[in-house]
Amino acid sequence: MLVDTEKVDLPLIRRTQRILARVSLCVSGKINDKIPFEEESFTTAVNADGGLLQLRKPVRKGQRLSLFQTKTGQQEFCTVAHVEPIDGVFASVRVQFLEPHPEFWHIAFPPDDWTPRHPDSKFNRQSHSQNSDTRECVKLGNCL
């Protein structure tokens, strides 16, 4: 039996290991840079640089989103790196944090390459210094 597949352009080198994990999130952003939205969602995989989540709302590559973990009260900003439609309702959305933030996922035993001090680490935290001016609180309503 042959299965049709679609070519997906993915980076050849992953910065950090991916872990399969379902984390509940409230995702917020703006549709077409105009209409604010909030959506309850979840991840299917996470890494130190971001994650893979399922969304109903339309998003595009390069769009900025806010991820809010209702369980921990933590918020992190990210950029959409890739969107792949799953069916007529959901899309698989790969997001990348504005800077690596492995602590956001609260993984008890993260892979060694999730820390910049490890020799296998593929990122350097100094090049991703936190800019407090870009951090802004987003008022969330429906997802709380």
Q: List the domain range (segments joined by +) for residue 67.
A: 16-101
Measured between alpha carbons, how far is 35 from 71 in angstroms, rounded to an integer?
26
Measured between alpha carbons, how far is 113 from 105 in angstroms, rounded to an integer?
15
Q: Is 12 left (phi over 0), alpha (psi -120 to 50) or beta?
A: alpha
The alpha carbon dihedral of 99, 20, 56, 26 has a sign of negative
**Is residue 46 in a domain?**
yes
**Is residue 22 in a domain?**
yes
Amino acid at site 130: Q
Question: What's the confidence (pLDDT) of residue 15?
Answer: 64
Q: pLDDT tens digit string along 92-120?
A: 999 999 998 889 998 876 677 666 665 65
**Is residue 86 in a domain?**
yes
Domain count for the chain = 1
**Is residue 140 in a domain?**
no
pTM above 0.85, yes or no: no
